[in-house]
Amino acid sequence: MIVTTETDATLRGLLRHLIDFGPLSRPELGEGVGLARATTSSLVNDLMRRGLVGEIPTPPQGRRGRPTTLLDVDDDRYASLGLEIGLDRILVAAYTPRGGQLLRVERPAEPEPGNPRALLRVAAGALREVADSVAATGRIPLGAGVCVPGLVDASSGTVKYVPSLGWHDVALRAGVADALGGAALGGSVLVDSDANYAALAERRARLRDGAAGTSLVYLTGTYGISAGIITGDRLWRGARGLAGDVGHIMLDPGGKRCVCGRSGCFETRAGLAGIVRTALAGHRRRGPARSLADAVEETVRLAQRGDSTVLDALAEAGRWLGRGAAVVSALLDPGAVVLGGHYARLAPWMLDPAREAYAAAVLTPGGEAPGLEVSMLGPWGPVEGAALSVLLALTEGSLPLPDPVS
Amino acid sequence: MIVTTETDATLRGLLRHLIDFGPLSRPELGEGVGLARATTSSLVNDLMRRGLVGEIPTPPQGRRGRPTTLLDVDDDRYASLGLEIGLDRILVAAYTPRGGQLLRVERPAEPEPGNPRALLRVAAGALREVADSVAATGRIPLGAGVCVPGLVDASSGTVKYVPSLGWHDVALRAGVADALGGAALGGSVLVDSDANYAALAERRARLRDGAAGTSLVYLTGTYGISAGIITGDRLWRGARGLAGDVGHIMLDPGGKRCVCGRSGCFETRAGLAGIVRTALAGHRRRGPARSLADAVEETVRLAQRGDSTVLDALAEAGRWLGRGAAVVSALLDPGAVVLGGHYARLAPWMLDPAREAYAAAVLTPGGEAPGLEVSMLGPWGPVEGAALSVLLALTEGSLPLPDPVS
């Protein structure tokens, strides 16, 4: 924590409320955080001098009555960056503070298991390129969020374990910062799992879509299954940064052998690696190994053609996905359980069976249970959330607020 | 929220920090909440005028060097009450703000399924009696926390479902307040589940015992299994107040039929109702049905004598308890998973097999996993937590801070 005065903490609270619920009138903002009008007004002026909050003079459509000046996160001065290191590609993008996309770069990547150095150099190169391009337009990059599909200890900046990349105990934050070589973003690199960042982006999308609650559990649909957990209004990362490791909960004792060495893990039944393997078993192509994304597209084509092996495999995996989601739901009662990543692409064939199994498995006194829903994000969701995490870090005191400009 | 000024919110933050980490010196307190020295000093004076914070002139043993005046929650002016409505008894107690016990009352109770009115009258009567006795000593009762072993929506004050009492949708807070008839505590009744309150008390006990982290999941060992979940520094109750309903997650598909109508629920394998039924199957007594506590004691006696049926039943239940705890651990990575209620009594026979199954079921890159531990609380744990919840409500703005005395 770098908070030093009562006012700093309150500034952060106001900024957070605008990130979540803006645009808002001054009275709405004051009420939202429980502050008297005069205090709100002077703190908003402070945030405006820092370039973090701006006025929207014209009321947005749908608000009738006398025009009100609304406040929102200022969208003009800063940028934040997101980077995802995946199995076969690196995604980097820059966004405005409200999430408007400024620039995207996609790079193919070939990880060497056990040697993350080369991959980190490619990633940092792409990150620097995007940061430089954004800076050339006059925007100030606030920082970058970096994620991988695995277990990450965000507080120490260390990757614990990424099975698909063959990474164990990699100092991700230091590695990216080193490879950036003291460029603009050197001091402001945050790291986390793809699941956590996607959960942040999903939360923002749902708030903007009018969702009442802000808690959710986001289930990744990549090779394995991880969860990004938002309880209340913030990520729950776990006491050791290992929360959300749902792929290896035992759902089916005596079931299939898992890569982790045990049997019956959630992932063996509802993970995408297994789904595409089963679905495409009768349709093997000779030639180079395809990426997971390609295998998913091939599965989609076969499902669209009505291939019964594929349809059965997707329905069965959907039922297990529903059972796993029910465990999450019973334990956490989040606002929603969200199916992300490739699950969204396969939802036309997996969602109904998943919902049926889910409904049968959740105990619902009075019929209440979290919805089982498809993610509102596209494939860039984790990257969007990575960029959003930089803004949130300002509100949590893990990054300093930019100084006021006189 | 009833916060109206920046300072009110900061006062609450200071009080919360002292409840969790007191006694502290002024500089320690200021650093802990990120406040400058002058601000801390004036706000501490405010809290002292309200009778909420006091000075401890003598340094406690073990602190060497020059004497420092330490601050802590004032233990002299106020009291808070806790009430637990169980299947066969009602427990009420009053505590000082730091948790010192002032008074305990235990009443036998016989619930009529579907008719909570009579039970609520008995409970409110006992509560009023304790509040009156405490007030007669000159202390001011701040409020009471009331809990039942089931699903409770704390925000609406409603019990959703308590299988063992036969309660569905009972307006618990209103019912207790009505039965109190406008007595001293009329406006300050809070309600929650026994699991949530026990988790609060467990967290305090662990902090005082020197625990580093403050997150935990407390598993109740009553008829069924529920979880009290603390993520970071507060209870996570769920979007609908239904979090922690772990008893009915499916651990053993195709397993035993559960009271909920499904099969293979965690509770069928590791719940106490089933454990004592299996353990005592060969030792049926004629005569009136005994309470769960009596059955547990009978089980303990047989285990101590080395009865192999009983020992096998406890070991097998312990293994399933470990598997269920592993699900909680993988999803949430709490500071600890804590076995509460009667599990603590049966730990000599259940804990080792539980830990073995737990270790085999958690994925541990680098060998890290939350500890599986026995609760530090006795049978009054939920009642202690209920009383603590009243103090926490002051810090969360759900109860108003008492006015300063000039």
Q: What is the pLDDT of residue A1?
A: 38
Task: Inform me whether the C-beta atom of residue B38 falls under 8 Å from chain A C-beta atoms.
Answer: no
Is B9 close to A10, i.e. CB distance below 8 A?
A: yes
Instruction: Judge if A232 and A341 occupy the same domain.
Output: yes
Q: Cα separation of A220 and B25, whole Å?
A: 46
Domain boundary (B21, B53, B73) is at B73
Compare B111 and A285 and report the one with higher pLDDT: B111
Interface probe for B, chosen from A332, A338, A362 (most Cβ of B below 10 Å), is A332
- pLDDT for the residue numbered B36: 83
- The rounded percent of chain B whose pLDDT value lies above 70 is 92
Say whether the peptide bond before residue B400 is cis (omega within 30 degrees of 0): no
Interface residue B253 vs chain A (CB under 8 A): yes
| Average pLDDT across chain A, whole number | 89
Q: Are B377 and B205 in contact (CB under 8 A)?
A: yes
Query: Where do we find the tokens 């008894």?
Result: B89
In this model, does residue A287 exceed pLDDT 60?
Answer: no
**B108 vs A385 pLDDT, higher one:** A385
Instruction: Please state, in angstroms and rounded to a whole number, the distance separating the CA atoms of residues B244 and B228.
Output: 6
Q: In the prediction, which pLDDT does B287 show?
A: 55
Please tell me the distance from the alpha carbon of residue B346 to that of residue B374, in angstroms, as a whole number: 10
The chain B residue lying nearest A30, using CA atoms, is B4
Per-residue pLDDT at A234: 92
Q: Do B35 and A6 touch (CB under 8 A)?
A: yes
CATH classification at residue A63: 1.10.10.10
Lowest mean pLDDT among A134-143, A182-191, A239-248, B358-367: A182-191
Please tell me whether residues A215 and A357 are part of one structural domain.
Answer: yes
Q: How far is the alpha carbon of A393 from chain B, nearest alpha carbon, in Å?
A: 16
What residue in B sits closest to A367 (Cα-Cα)?
B160
Domain co-membership, A17 together with A91: no
Nearest to B365 among A161, A360, A361 (CB): A161
Q: Which two tokens stand for residue B78?
A: 């106020």
Are B235 and B302 found together in one domain?
yes
What distance in Å separates residue B385's CA from the closest CA in chain A? 21
DSSP B120-156: HHHHHHHHHHHHHHHHHTT-EEEEEEEEESSEEETTT
pLDDT digits (tens, 9 = 90+) for A55-87: 987 655 565 666 678 999 999 999 999 999 988
Cβ pair A262:B326 closer than 8 A = no
Residue A308, in any domain of the structure: yes
- Compute the radius of gyration of chain B from its Cα atoms: 22
CA distance A34 to chain B (A): 5
B261 falls within a domain: yes
Predicted pLDDT at B135:
92
- Per the listing, tokens 């053609």 go with A305
Share of chain A above pLDDT 90, in %: 65
**A101 pairs with which residues across the strands?**
A95
Burial (CB < 10 A; 0-12, 13-18, 19+), residue A229, is: buried
- Spatial strand order of the sheet with A151-153 comes to A151-153, A158-162, A167-170
> Is B406 a member of any domain?
no
Tell me: do A54 and A125 sit in the same domain.
Answer: no
Cα–Cα distance for residue pair A117/A126, rounded to 1 Å: 14
pLDDT greater at residue B124 or residue A287: B124
In order of A18, A22, A69, A110, the CA distances from A28 in angstroms are 10, 10, 12, 50
Find where tokens 């994925």 sit: B363
- Chain A residue at shortest CA distance from B337: A239
Same domain, A129 and A269: no
The reply to whether residue A239 touches residue B161, judged by beta carbons under 8 angstroms, is no
Chain A's closest residue to B248, CA to CA, is A363
Q: Which residues contact A313 (CB under 8 A, 6 or more apart)?
A: A275, A278, A279
First to last CA, chain B: 26
Kindly tell me if the per-residue pLDDT of A213 is higher than 80: no
The partner residue sitting opposite A6, judged by closest CB among B39, B242, B368, is B39
Lowest mean pLDDT among A4-13, A260-269, B161-170, B195-204: A4-13
At residue B351, the pLDDT reads 98
A36 contacts in B (CB within 8 Å)? 4-6
| Contact (CB, 8 A) for A133 and A119 | no
Which DSSP helix (H) or strand (E) runs through B372? strand B371-374
Confidence of residue A51 (pLDDT cuts 50, 70, 90): very high
**Does residue A1 form part of some domain?**
no
Residues of B in contact with A236 (CB under 8 A): 231-232, 236, 332
Does residue A242 share a domain with residue A158? no
Q: Which of residues 188-247 of B touch A (CB under 8 A)?
A: 213, 215, 227, 229, 231-232, 234, 236-246
- Shortest alpha-carbon distance between residue A343 and chain B (Å): 20
Q: B68 and B99 share a domain?
A: no
Contact at 8 Å (CB) between A287 and A322? no
Q: Which amino acid is at A14?
A: L
pLDDT of B302: 96
Decide: B112 and B99 in contact? Cβ < 8 Å.
Answer: no
Query: Could you say which of A244, A334, A365 has the minimum Cβ distance to residue B161?
Result: A365
The reply to whether residue A333 touches residue B240, judged by beta carbons under 8 angstroms, is: yes
Q: How far is A243 from A228, CA to CA, in rounded Å?
A: 8
| Residues 111-140 in A contacting B (C-alpha not used; CB under 8 Å) | none
Are residues A332 and B238, on separate chains, in Cβ contact within 8 Å?
Answer: yes
**Domain-located, residue B283:** yes
* Within a domain: A253: yes
What is the bridge-based pairing of β-strands A227-231 and A234-235? antiparallel
Does B284 share its domain with B268?
Answer: yes
> Given A73, A89, A108, which residue is the final one in a domain?
A73
Q: Quick one: DSSP state of residue A4?
A: -
Nearest to A250 among B8, B241, B323 (CB): B323
Concatenate the DSSP letters of all residues of B294-332 into one string: HHHHHHHHHHHTT-HHHHHHHHHHHHHHHHHHHHHHHHH
Among B165, B174, B175, B200, CA closest to B389: B200
Is the Cβ pair B231, A236 closer than 8 Å? yes
Among the partner residues A151, A330, A366, nearest to B249 by beta-carbon distance:
A330
pLDDT-derived band of residue A284, with 50, 70 and 90 as boundaries?
low
Residue A36 lies in a domain: yes
Domain C-terminal end among A73, A106, A122:
A73
Residue A156 shares a structural domain with residue A214: no
Asked if residue A362 and residue A271 are part of one domain, the reply reads yes
d(C-alpha B226, C-alpha B247), whole Å: 6
Domain of A228 in residue numbering reads as: 210-375
Helix (H), strand (E), coil (C) string for B115-129? ECHHHHHHHHHHHHH
C-alpha A47/C-alpha A11 separation (Å) is 7
B7/A249 Cβ within 8 A: no
Domain count, chain A: 3
Are B285 and B299 members of one domain?
yes
Parts of chain B with a pLDDT under 50: 1-4
Q: Which CATH number fits the domain that encloses residue B291?
A: 3.30.420.40
